[in-house]
Structure 1
Amino acid sequence: MSTRPTARFTLRPLPHAIALLAAISQAPLVAAADTDGETVTLDAVTVTATRREETLQSVPVAVSVVDGEQLERDNRSGVAGLAQQVPTLNFRTNASNKDTALFIRGVGTISTSPGVEPTVATVVDGVVLARPGQATLELLDPERVEVLRGPQGTLFGKNASAGVINIVTRQPPAETRGYVQQDWYQGNESRTRFGIGGTLVPGVLRGSLTTLVSSYDGNVDNQSNGHEVNGYNHRGARGKLEFTPNDDLTVTLAADYLQAHDDIPNGVVAKTLDASFANALAPVSASDHNRDIVSDYRSRVEDANKGVSAQVDYRLGDFTLTSITAWRGWDNTQWQDGDRLGTISAAFPGIEDKGDLAFDQYSQELRLASPKGGFVEYVAGAYYMHGHDDETYRRNLRSPTSLQTGVADYGTRSDSSALFGETTLNFTERLRGIAGLRYTHDYLSYDHRRTSTSPVAVNGIQPSTASSGSVDEDGWSGRLGVQYDLTDDLMAYLTYSRGYKGPAYNVFFNMQPRDTDPLKPETSNTWELGLKATAWNGRLTANGALFHSTYDNYQANFFDTVASQVVTRLINAGSVTSEGAEFDLALQATRALKLSAALAYTHARIDSFSCPSGAAASCNVNGKTLPFAPDWKSYVRADYSVPLGNGLDLELATDYSWQSEVQYDLSQNPDTKQGAYGIWNASLAVADYDAGWRVALIGKNLADKSYSPLLASGSGYIYRQVPRDDSRYFGVQLRKDF
């Protein structure tokens, strides 16, 4: 099966979607006020998806918005937690954040190579994070998180071929205020947040500071030494200064630092494929819900992520000129037990890995935004990013009689320059046209040197080698579309987007001569039809989108073996298709009750796979699902507030996320499938907002469902990563505002 589904599949549900959203938008204005006569509406959601502040219901982009305060209350402290709340988003975890990846609509890049850019870009206050691992630690002081689906290169500085995670942090307040929040959870998990902000110089300077201290013992036991692992220790701070010397100029300076010490094991064995490995694993028994390891080498990560940025907004009459200058640094050291055993033998030698990474990026963006309200509105800009990566990876192979060692020093240099812009043509009050274009020039170089104590390949170590190379590519991407207000409360849009992702190199410890050629740029074509409806005097919003995306020269990882050790190879995997439908709903049913729901159907499949020469895994994958792409995902939530008198409020909240079966391996290993599962959470809180305090009891995974966010192949076994909520747990959250 190598044919691509036609557009007819995508457009078939269109009449039903139009009828549903049109009915919602034209529904009678019943229950427009609460029982006491007070008008009740949903809070307006502001987004910057079009690089301007606009309401969510007016932008012709499929975007989900998660409130930062809600994330903090729900103990979803990182980008990974968003995947439960946003059905179109998926997250690949691993022992080190260096090896993580984000997926939107089933499309993402899994790679440890520094020579590949992420398919899903992460942006924090306008600054693009060049490497996926920079984005997966704690969120500091988020105001909101916007998840934009589909190519976004015509508006965001760095090219984003599958989507953007746009994180907007809070601005310093005008009035001095602060808070302290303390969370305790079972398993000796603690999270302390402190924030303060206000005016430093009246009318001229505001500032804010947020700090974080968090720790967790873990939920995995090492039977080899009795230690508890899979925990963390995090420390961080974010500060902002907002300088407004006059009405036309605003300068925002931001700095952040986050230090992490994680002892996440390099996989927990979920299934053994031969009896000898099962015997070596004793006393641990492999199972789908195993949370025990037996390890003689401590897997852990030390990570430091930091950055500074300066954003200048200058009004030139009715125009706004924006400059964002930023530097970010990232240092990561990981130790991993590659054999996942506590003993060394001739059959199962010990594999001890240590990797050091030092990464710096510098970026500059200039953007000009025209005034709104005219026939032509536009945002145009220029962007430049330089990335500099240096890594050292060392592997020790221990047997009862010998020690073999391999050490690789490698790095990349990248420069990306772009001109981009998008125009909206207001043909009438209801009809608008959209046109965007981006030109990108990418330069990427690498060097790699590996030394080995063995002249031939041994378990997981290739012989000594050295290579270097460079590549230049020019790419075009863009967007065309039309937007039409069917009624005052129902908007429809149809867009075509061309996505582009630059060239890549597969640079890693066991790099071989076959890996020295650059990967071709990845390109995509996306059609999207969206409807956004508002009804019941602003109490109900419902948004839907149908999409059809095809990707050529898809950059993906494929499992292989090197001297009996499982490794991954980054390749141009061929062509893939992702298509489906998405639906989001929010309802302020009464002043006390708010309901929300989201549903995504994503049919992400491999059309034609380009099998690499010498592949050890099966290449018979045409028509099969893309990894980390469940067909169905959903999320429902209810929030209910009851006044108790004397200024007290009782707040009840519950949410449930569910997803269908998911395959984690591009080669379609039947043992790396996670079956369908759902996670149910709930909380109960009492608050006095006049006095500035809130106390909450939080329950996670109340149905006690064990699941695996990653299943992968080892040599003779399948291992899994264990999530924090792999079993039911409870916690208490205290907050005091002042």
Structure 2
Amino acid sequence: MKINTKNKLLQRRRAQQLGSLLSVAAISISTAAAENAAPPASDDQAGLPSVTVTATRREASLRSVPIAVSVLNGDLLEQANRNSIDSIAAELPSVNFRQQGGNKDSTIFVRGIGTISTSPGVEPTVSTVVDGVVFARPGQATLDLLDIDRIEILRGPQGTLFGKNASSGVLNVVSRKPGKDTAGFIDASYFEGNERRLRAGISGTLVPETVRASLTALDTKYDGNVDNVANGNKVNGFERQGLRAKVLVTPNSDLDITLVADYLRSNSSPTFVAYKSTSAPFSQAIAPVIASTENRQIRTDIPSDISDFNKGVSAQIDWRNQGYTLTSITAARQWDNEQHTTTSAIGNSADISRISAAFPATRDIGTLHYRQFSQELRLASPKDSVVDYVLGAYYLHGKDEETYQRIVTTSATSINSGFAPYSVTSDSYSLFGEGNYLISDGLKAIAGARWTRDELSYNHARTSTQATAFAGVQPATSNAGSTSESAWSGRTGLQYDLSKDISTYATVSRGYKGPAYNVFFNMLNRDTLALKPETSDSYEIGIKAIGFDKKLSVNLAAFQTNYKNYQANFYDTVAGAVVTRLINAGEVSTRGVEIDVEARPVTRLNLSTSLAYIDARIDQFNCPAAAAASCTLNGQTLPFSPKWKSFSRVSYGIPLANGLHLELSADYSWQSKVQFDLFQSVNTIQGSVGLINASIALSSSDNGWRIALIGKNLSDKSYATNLVNSSGYVTRAVPRDDQRYFGITARKDF
């Protein structure tokens, strides 16, 4: 406990010192601003910029698309130190992120719906698309993002135009295009906790009028915010390096060829800590660590270690002829993941005196080797016609090969293990199209459909040192299987423009997620039957408006979505250890209202706020045979889905003398209580949480530099991004901003 008290005192002292630094900097710079400020710009010049999205697979203004879409600006994300998919969830009231042991086990939720499974035989409910390329496995998209122009979040089923893995929504990531003029940047950051980030990039013309290119590099490291009392080291951190290259070739005015290559490697030590003890033996076993809501300590001789290698290449060809655009996107991606995790309650595999049958030391070693190839063809008709449309065909092939070993130690002389190699092969074929028919001035009909065929097969085998189940390991087995399904999805509706600044829409959508196999380490004969495809029927109305000389925009959407054959993880036990089984859980639904407001009342002031009310519930739960847990779940809320969530940001710019510019910025994210357990344990409820972040930035438009002081979680709120209930205890996932911290960033453009 002395170590913990000393660390807390040091952290508080550093926080006070950095807080004072922020205050002094703010007063000093503000005084300079008052003395040297340039004449203020006229409020008549204020106005919100137009936002372009590709939610309908062609560029259009955000206001004109009849889809609920949120857009995050890449520059603002970088300035706020939000560099990965999991960190942006705070800015999206309709999005939540499930943090688990590693990237392989994490997933995204939209409107309360997401798939919790480590099985390679199941698709994620939310699709991640980067520069037109679908990332078929959710773990591929949870690492740092490079050179981002914007992120579009399409809410609700998007099965018509995006298809694969889009039964609940799409995260559409768009990177920056190379510029014509030679330019570059270097960006360095340092935050408390020894978090260091370094990014650099260069772009420009290689061949005049024909070839442009850009190259961006990343190197970052964070020690972590959890103390390992066994050796005094930090865990729950990461180290990442990456490169992204983009080449744009324009042989003539009608042809664009975009080539992209990216590579990212990561090493991390994700850690769950003791959150609550419900048994005296467990409390004694983890000593000197004390389970608590703010605990950030573990005791382990072998901490978790996870490595990722994610890379890919793609080629997009856009050919324009007489108003038509033919697009081809060819891509190949590779993802390799290796994890070494300690899953014992004690977290110590060497202290045999503390290990027992009740609290064994469990070491998991897993490898993943995934390859995917995809090809998409699209034809877009001329815009602004009585009838316009997008037609296309899509193919995706995926091959996943994994191994998993679990070593269970209950005493110095009792060590048992299980080992399983398994693989999944998938092929998906689609034909799709969506069109708009101009009925009259301002009134448009929308209709689209997609035909999909999924083919899925697997092989699985397991060996074990015991003939009966023990501590999370099932006996030896061997299985194989294959299945295929064909189905239709689509969308229809009406869009009516009340004026050039106000647009309304009403749509009905059908989402589809293909069949699945529950292929995982503890797979049994009961898991050999293929899960049925998951379908969703969604009803949505919305209004998008901009007014007051483009100083205010409001987007409002109301929705109801019903899911059948919902694919969800059901908790079960193996020899007293909690495991999960993927099942067709039955029927669930989500309904709610979302509102996004953005305002620029004067040139210097930017305001934005987003609010979502989402009621995601279990309507009819299908209890599997021989279930070890209670299935009285009808009417209960779905996990990882707070009813209320909001995000607000305010920034104010002050022009100074000599081309300098001061910007003060703050944001506030809040969510109501959230249940993390499908089975509604009282121990896995996170109460409402509100987080405040702020920054002070000074920049020079003439010399191209920017320096910012950033404060995160200024109210110093500790919270959980996941709580896992086990026999006798509860563990917590500790987020990066679990306590207040400060940092500084500096950027130079040249």
- Determine the C-alpha separation between the residues in 2 that align with 1:571 and 1:723: 29
Paired residue secondary structure (2:433): strand
Q: Paired residue for 2:298?
A: 293
Is structure 2 residue 308 aligned with structure 1 residue 303?
A: yes
- Check the 8 A contact 1:157/1:365 in 2, yes or no: no
- Determine the C-alpha separation between the residues in 1 that align with 2:601 and 2:706: 24
Q: Paired residue for 1:331?
A: 336
- TM alignment of 1:512-661, pairs within 5 A: 512-661=524-673
- Determine the C-alpha separation between the residues in 1 that align with 2:501 and 2:379: 30
Is structure 2 residue 191 aligned with structure 1 residue 179?
A: no
- Which of 76, 80, 88 is the equivalent residue of 1:82? 88
**Counterpart AA for 2:724:** A
Q: Paired residue for 1:147?
A: 153
Q: What is the CA deviation profile of residues 539-572 of structure 1, one whole-angstrom value per residue up to 9, with x for unaligned ones?
A: 1100000000000000011111111111111110
Q: Paired residue for 2:325?
A: 320
- Determine the C-alpha separation between the residues in 2 that align with 1:429 and 1:251: 36
Q: Paired residue for 2:19?
A: none
- Determine the C-alpha separation between the residues in 2 that align with 1:537 and 1:200: 41
- Check the 8 A contact 1:179/1:735 in 2, yes or no: yes
- Check the 8 A contact 1:293/1:340 in 2, yes or no: no
Paired residue secondary structure (1:358): strand
Q: What is the CA deviation profile of residues 155-187 of structure 1, one whole-angstrom value per residue up to 9, with x for unaligned ones?
A: 115241000000000010011101000000001
- Check the 8 A contact 1:157/1:382 in 2, yes or no: no
- Determine the C-alpha separation between the residues in 1 that align with 2:626 and 2:709: 55
**Counterpart AA for 1:317:** Q
- Determine the C-alpha separation between the residues in 2 that align with 1:440 and 1:287: 49
**Counterpart AA for 1:298:** P
Paired residue secondary structure (2:683): helix
* Percentage of identical aligned residues: 56
- Check the 8 A contact 1:101/1:133 in 2, yes or no: yes
Q: Paired residue for 1:39?
A: 45
Paired residue secondary structure (1:690): coil
- TM alignment of 1:271-282, pairs within 5 A: 271-282=276-287
- Determine the C-alpha separation between the residues in 1 that align with 2:588 and 2:110: 14
Paired residue secondary structure (2:669): strand
Is structure 2 residue 129 aligned with structure 1 residue 123?
A: yes
How far has the Cα of 1:381 moved from its partner? 0.2
- Determine the C-alpha separation between the residues in 2 that align with 1:661 and 1:36: 44
- Check the 8 A contact 1:242/1:251 in 2, yes or no: yes
* Aligned CA distance change for structure 1 residues 688 and 464 (closer, same or farther; 3 Å): same
How far has the Cα of 1:35 moved from its partner? 6.5
Structure 1 gap segments, 5+ residues each: 1-33
- Check the 8 A contact 1:158/1:383 in 2, yes or no: no
Aligned residue-pair number = 705
- TM alignment of 1:258-277, pairs within 5 A: 258-265=264-271, 267-277=272-282
How far has the Cα of 1:154 moved from its partner? 1.1
Paired residue secondary structure (1:514): helix
- Determine the C-alpha separation between the residues in 1 that align with 2:64 and 2:360: 60
- Determine the C-alpha separation between the residues in 1 that align with 2:747 and 2:41: 31
How far has the Cα of 1:716 moved from its partner? 2.1
How far has the Cα of 1:448 moved from its partner? 0.4
Is structure 2 residue 362 aligned with structure 1 residue 356?
A: no
**Counterpart AA for 2:162:** F
- Determine the C-alpha separation between the residues in 2 that align with 1:655 and 1:519: 43
How far has the Cα of 1:429 moved from its partner? 2.5
- Determine the C-alpha separation between the residues in 2 that align with 1:499 and 1:282: 50
Q: Paired residue for 1:386?
A: 397
- Check the 8 A contact 1:189/1:215 in 2, yes or no: yes
Q: Paired residue for 1:105?
A: 111
- Determine the C-alpha separation between the residues in 2 that align with 1:346 and 1:492: 63
How far has the Cα of 1:272 moved from its partner? 1.3
- Which of 399, 405, 411 is the equivalent residue of 2:410? 399
**Counterpart AA for 2:590:** S
How far has the Cα of 1:86 moved from its partner? 0.8
Is structure 2 residue 174 aligned with structure 1 residue 168?
A: yes
- Determine the C-alpha separation between the residues in 1 that align with 2:43 and 2:148: 34
Q: Paired residue for 2:446?
A: 434
Structure 2 gap segments, 5+ residues each: 1-39
- Check the 8 A contact 1:383/1:417 in 2, yes or no: yes
Q: Paired residue for 2:10?
A: none
Paired residue secondary structure (1:70): helix
- Determine the C-alpha separation between the residues in 1 that align with 2:52 and 2:592: 26
- Determine the C-alpha separation between the residues in 2 that align with 1:123 and 1:494: 25
Q: Paired residue for 1:412?
A: 424
- Check the 8 A contact 2:136/2:165 in 1, yes or no: no
* Aligned CA distance change for structure 1 residues 159 and 286 (closer, same or farther; 3 Å): closer
Q: What is the CA deviation profile of residues 54-101 of structure 1, one whole-angstrom value per residue up to 9, with x for unaligned ones?
A: 111111000000000000000001011121001000000112110001
- Determine the C-alpha separation between the residues in 1 that align with 2:581 and 2:482: 19
- Which of 502, 523, 538 is the equivalent residue of 1:490? 502
**Counterpart AA for 2:76:** Q
Paired residue secondary structure (1:399): strand
- Determine the C-alpha separation between the residues in 1 that align with 2:691 and 2:568: 29
How far has the Cα of 1:194 moved from its partner? 0.2
Q: What is the CA deviation profile of residues 377-406 of structure 1, one whole-angstrom value per residue up to 9, with x for unaligned ones?
A: 000100000000000000111132121110
Paired residue secondary structure (2:45): coil
- TM alignment of 1:194-209, pairs within 5 A: 194-209=200-215
- Check the 8 A contact 1:216/1:231 in 2, yes or no: yes
How far has the Cα of 1:346 moved from its partner? 2.9
**Counterpart AA for 2:470:** V
What TM-score, normalized to structure 2? 0.93
- Which of 220, 239, 242 is the equivalent residue of 1:236? 242
- Determine the C-alpha separation between the residues in 1 that align with 2:643 and 2:513: 25
- Which of 172, 179, 195 is the equivalent residue of 1:189? 195
- Which of 476, 480, 501 is the equivalent residue of 2:488? 476
**Counterpart AA for 2:319:** Y
- Check the 8 A contact 1:683/1:698 in 2, yes or no: yes
Q: What is the CA deviation profile of residues 597-637 of structure 1, one whole-angstrom value per residue up to 9, with x for unaligned ones?
A: 00000010000000112222221111010011100000111
**Counterpart AA for 1:639:** S
Q: Paired residue for 1:14?
A: none
**Counterpart AA for 2:266:** A
- Determine the C-alpha separation between the residues in 1 that align with 2:735 and 2:53: 31
- Determine the C-alpha separation between the residues in 2 that align with 1:157 and 1:709: 29
- Which of 237, 256, 260 is the equivalent residue of 1:250? 256
Range with bigger deviation, 452-461 or 376-385: 452-461
- Determine the C-alpha separation between the residues in 1 that align with 2:732 and 2:43: 54
- Determine the C-alpha separation between the residues in 1 that align with 2:44 and 2:569: 56
* Aligned CA distance change for structure 1 residues 37 and 460 (closer, same or farther; 3 Å): closer
Paired residue secondary structure (2:87): helix
- Determine the C-alpha separation between the residues in 2 that align with 1:291 and 1:39: 50
- Check the 8 A contact 2:588/2:617 in 1, yes or no: yes
- Determine the C-alpha separation between the residues in 1 that align with 2:182 and 2:451: 45
Range with bigger deviation, 270-279 or 71-80: 270-279
**Counterpart AA for 1:204:** T
Q: What is the CA deviation profile of residues 267-292 of structure 1, one whole-angstrom value per residue up to 9, with x for unaligned ones?
A: 11101121111100000000111100
- Determine the C-alpha separation between the residues in 2 that align with 1:37 and 1:668: 52
- Check the 8 A contact 2:123/2:165 in 1, yes or no: no
- Determine the C-alpha separation between the residues in 1 that align with 2:297 and 2:47: 50
- Determine the C-alpha separation between the residues in 1 that align with 2:663 and 2:441: 42
